[in-house]
Amino acid sequence: MPELIESPSRVEAAGTKPKLIDEYAGRVNNGEERVSVAHMRSPAGWVEPGQRPDFDEYTLVIGGALHVEYEGGSMVVATGQAVLTRAGEWVRYSTPDGAEYVAVCLPAFSPDTVHRDES
Helix (H) / strand (E) containing 56: strand 56-70
Domain boundaries, given as residue ranges, for the chain = 9-108
> Is the Cβ–Cβ distance between 23 and 38 less than 8 Å?
yes
In CATH, which of 2.40.160.40, 2.60.120.10, 3.90.1150.10, 3.40.50.1010 is domain 9-108? Answer: 2.60.120.10
| Whether the predicted model's global pTM rises above the 0.85 cut | yes
Q: How many CB atoms lie within 10 A of CB 82?
A: 14
pLDDT at 118: 87
pLDDT tens by residue, the chain, 119 residues: 999 999 999 998 988 889 999 999 999 999 999 999 999 999 999 999 999 999 999 999 999 999 999 999 999 999 999 999 999 999 999 999 999 999 999 999 999 999 999 86
Q: What is the pLDDT of residue 119?
A: 66
